[in-house]
């Protein structure tokens, strides 16, 4: 589902189920110590997807630790992203020579909870979502917006080292292209000295059960 949304330089691995009783990879068990069983399963499966993606990129298997905001820590020279939700786990990786930023996200294709919408949707986005809902009522645009902002954040954080709130990005969808544009409303100064992040571009897909979004930042951008 996510693979077709990504450029050829990205290696993506996805699965729609877990392996019963699968153990954490050596060096990762402490990251989910005390976690509930559902959290353990999604972590173990998603990390397995990530290791397989790295293997296809030429890297040996090893633990994928987490950073201060639970972001996966990739081998030197690699950018990547992991996502998991009910019934779906996926990981995507690429070399820095090809991409400097990458974010993926998947969510159940259902309405966003009412107590979350106010934290996620900006006023101008609310008006745009209403128009989209009138023209394409079969899509839960509020959930798609949430997923897109998750992908934006996952691409943003490793490049800037800073939090990005839902209200700090304004999104516009292009249904004809299956794409979206995120205008960043805070300074996007990068840790690597690259051009500041001002606008990020992404793609999306919708099925009966899932929505998926991706954001990529090309090398030199």
Give the pLDDT of the chain (221 residues) as one tens digit per residue.
999 999 999 999 999 999 999 999 999 999 999 999 999 999 999 999 999 999 999 999 999 999 988 899 999 999 999 999 999 999 999 999 999 999 999 999 999 999 999 999 999 999 999 999 999 999 999 999 999 999 999 999 999 999 999 999 999 999 999 999 999 999 999 999 999 999 999 999 999 999 999 999 998 76
Same CATH fold, 105-218 and 3-98? yes
DSSP bridge pairs for 184: 169
pLDDT at res. 151: 98
Which pair of tokens denotes residue 161?
């080292």
pLDDT at res. 57: 97
Could you tell me which of 201, 199, 173, 172 has the C-alpha nearest to residue 185?
199
111-118's contacts with Cβ under 8 Å and 24+ in sequence apart are: 111/140, 111/142, 111/143, 112/140, 112/142, 112/143, 112/145, 112/146, 116/146, 117/142
HSE-CB for 148 with a 13 A CA cutoff: 30
Distances from the Cα of 46 to the Cα of 7, 15, 40, 50, 158, angstroms: 21, 8, 10, 6, 19
pLDDT at res. 219: 86
Cβ atoms < 10 Å from Cβ of 197: 22
Domain definitions of the chain by residue range: 3-98, 105-218
Domain 3-98 has CATH 3.90.470.20: yes
pLDDT at res. 221: 60
CA distance 99 to 146: 23
Q: Could you tell me the pTM of the whole model?
A: 0.96
How large is the angle between the packed helices 141-160 and 123-135, nearest 10 degrees? 140
Q: What CATH fold (topology level) applies to the domain 105-218?
A: Ribosomal Protein L22; Chain A (3.90.470)
DSSP structure class, residue 55: H
């Amino acid at each position: 589902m996510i693979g077709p949304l990504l450029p050829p330089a990205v290696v993506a691995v996805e699965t729609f189920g877990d392996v019963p009783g699968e153990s954490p990879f050596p060096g990762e068990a402490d990251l989910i110590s005390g976690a509930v069983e559902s959290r353990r399963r999604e972590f173990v499966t998603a990390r397995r997807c990530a290791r397989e993606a790295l293997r296809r990129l030429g890297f040996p298997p090893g633990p994928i630790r987490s950073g201060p905001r639970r972001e996966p820590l990739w081998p030197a020279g690699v950018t990547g992203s992991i996502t998991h939700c009910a019934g779906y786990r996926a990981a995507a990786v690429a070399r820095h020579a090809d991409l400097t930023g990458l974010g993926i996200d998947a969510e159940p294709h259902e309405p966003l909870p009412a107590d979350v919408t106010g934290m996620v949707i900006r006023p101008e986005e609310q008006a745009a979502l209403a128009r989209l809902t009138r023209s394409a009522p079969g899509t839960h645009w509020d959930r798609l917006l949430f997923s897109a902002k998750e992908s934006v954040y996952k691409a943003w954080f490793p490049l800037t080292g800073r939090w990005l709130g839902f209200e700090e990005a304004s999104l516009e969808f292009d249904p004809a292209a299956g794409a979206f544009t995120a205008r960043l409303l805070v300074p996007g100064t990068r840790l690597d000295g690259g051009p500041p992040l001002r606008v990020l571009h992404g793609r999306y897909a919708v099925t009966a059960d899932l929505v998926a979004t991706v954001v990529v930042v090309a090398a030199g951008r």
